[in-house]
A and B are shown apart, each in its own frame.
Chain A
């Protein structure tokens, strides 16, 4: 008796069809996520073309150390998630559970670090509409950078939080033996979602943190 037989939903003919449907569903959902972030990136690209200097200067106000650490953390977490799926595919359970917990913990670390960034940015007066104390010739158009920065990272952070929740749920289910070599679709799909969250950040990082820092 395997895990999948108990998981076959009524609308499906067999577990192959169910797995196909779930996977296609997740990929379609990820496509919509790409479009969500795509609009924000398009807006960013548009403004950056118009205000290259202001964006460069604004980017220098971001915390590159924290940003780089966050990137490293997310990349590692994706690795952990992939390893967790592999463990389950090979029939493991305990190690996989730990890997999922590590992934979630790294996600929480990411959020905490980004929270620190926001606090620092509040203190420095870099939040347009709430607390913005910048002066100088580019101060007005730098606000465009920061509007987009908070929206993009905030929206991304929301996705990270949801991902952490999903990972914890998967860790619990793995621990309880809900998955085995033949059936671990929810786990795969959660990992897929987490990889998307990571990939989005890989675009965010250079766009936000590295503008004007090459010089």
Chain B
């Protein structure tokens, strides 16, 4: 492994004006542009969630009208899915780390990378416009014929916004695929790649293959709304169920876009926190690829009671059970990695362990939903809401934050306050469980989702959930605070404060413009931590 290069200007010092940022082609600066934008959208979507939880403290709809409530949860879903979760790890950590981890100077297509960011911003502007001009009330799933023929809200604006941001996803994925295929340093064979890079590769494949389907589906909704006719229109003999097939064909792989990068991050955090090689590297790789591939085959499990045939339900059920196998392998392998390790419990490790636990809980409830006979009762209830929040929030968001903390010294050249970070991580774990565990119970007791008002028997659990949400909100604001504070006042970081393995740690903190003065030569696999 190469040692640290002599001090050069860091990428942060290559120009200071707005133009040097908005016109950059440096993958590291683009990653930061994304980070700023998605943080904005995260808190916006979080605000919508806070208002939803506020309304749900009482059974009556006394905080806002039904229409406003419907717009609130729709906005929360649209923003969190497309403007936070899907870009979060790939566009920030992925963009920053991918070239560093494979020993490259930048992405294959740096200007396309910047263009992807502008597409994200463009899509974001349409979505904000939608919010400011009245909002949309269809749910983030836009089911027809409600979205095409009945909703009086600003469906077109949000459809355009999501359409545009989809292209951001596609071009990011394209960039990743080409970069990983053609720009690995000499000696970095496929099975020497860090698992984070594998997860970026898998995610890129899913982004590139699934997102076009979303784009066309949204375009078809848009056309139907504009012209009053379309292929989802039952009055013409068209089929509203066709929409659901198209939509979920994208949206199920989309949830793997949200979780695969998180899994990649967690593998990096755990190996560094344990100072040990990952247990079962090859199985972990096969699991990542397996999840990505089988993820395209299970979309019908969102449609068991939709009017889809009983036989289709059977096929989608077995596939959905099988996709749990690679996820289980990963959970077991992460746990086994702890064996004979040398474990420290800094914030990134706490986030990683939190991920493993919460992802496991969320994933197990996926089995309940894969069982068609149970799904009949549980679908469209708070059980599903809890299930996906466990994975997306307890999973992906925690992994994202863990990654941000872990690579913060590399990205910013500063150290954050470990005490505050540990506190926030633990607070988040408790706040999260208090918010979402009651929702499992609410679901199996029959409370449907997307309900503005509910029957009084569901109130106690709703109050618990809303209380948890308050704690969770605080635990998200804390990192915003102490991380930003560290930019000015944090101690300066060395090249490798965690003494971690990985090519990114052989560069200065922060790295210079083109990362490596000389292309590194790789002669071993990842996570080469020495035995004590």
Contacts and interface: CB of A to CB of B under 8 A. Distances in A.
A and B touch in the complex (CB under 8 A): yes
Contacts of A31: 208-209
A28 B109 CA distance: 13
A21 B236 contact: no
Contacts of B346: none
Given A43-B231, A43-B242, A28 B174 contact: yes
A185 B331 CA distance: 45
Contacts of A42: 246
A144 B177 contact: no
Contact of A25 (B178, B209, B227): B178
Contacts of A51: 237
Interface in B156-194: 170, 174-175, 177-179, 181-183
Given A129-B226, A130-B227, A144-B237, A32 B170 contact: yes
B182 A11 contact: no
Interface string B206-237: 00110111011101100110111111000111
A47 B217 CA distance: 15
B2 interface: no
A43 B237 contact: no
B422 interface: no
B111 to A, nearest CB: 9
Contact of A35 (B110, B209, B237, B519): B209
A172 interface: no
B415 interface: no
A29 interface: yes
A47 B231 CA distance: 8
Interface string A116-160: 000000000000111000000000110110011001000100000
Consensus secondary structure, chain A interface: helix
Nearest to B170: A32
Interface in B297-336: none
Nearest to A154: B223
A193 to B, nearest CB: 14
Contact of B183 (A10, A17, A33): A17
B230 A21 contact: no
B108 A21 contact: yes
Contacts, number: 109
B514 interface: yes
Given A43-B246, A46-B242, A50-B237, A24 B220 contact: no
A39 B236 contact: no
B225 to A, nearest CB: 10
Nearest to B238: A144
A128 B177 contact: no
Interface string A15-50: 001001100110011011101101110110011001
Contacts of A28: 174, 177-178, 208
Given A17-B182, A141-B236, A10 B220 contact: no
A25 B109 contact: yes
A13 B217 contact: no
A36 to B, nearest CB: 4
Interface string B94-107: 00000100001111
B239 interface: yes
Nearest to B108: A21
A40 B179 CA distance: 30
16 contacts: A11-B105, A11-B108, A21-B109, A21-B181, A24-B178, A25-B174, A25-B178, A32-B208, A32-B211, A46-B231, A47-B238, A51-B237, A144-B237, A147-B223, A147-B224, A151-B219
Interface of B: 99, 104-110, 170, 174-175, 177-179, 181-183, 208-209, 211-213, 215-217, 219-220, 223-224, 226-231, 235-239, 242, 246, 514, 519
Given A39-B212, A43-B231, 20 more contacts: A10-B106, A11-B99, A13-B183, A21-B178, A24-B177, A24-B182, A25-B109, A25-B175, A29-B174, A31-B208, A32-B170, A36-B215, A39-B246, A46-B231, A50-B239, A128-B227, A129-B226, A144-B238, A147-B223, A147-B229
Interface of A: 10-13, 17, 20-21, 24-25, 28-29, 31-33, 35-36, 38-40, 42-43, 46-47, 50-51, 128-130, 140-141, 143-144, 147-148, 151, 155
For the complex of A and B, 8 pairs with smallest distance between CB atoms: A129-B227, A11-B106, A39-B216, A35-B212, A128-B229, A21-B182, A21-B108, A36-B212
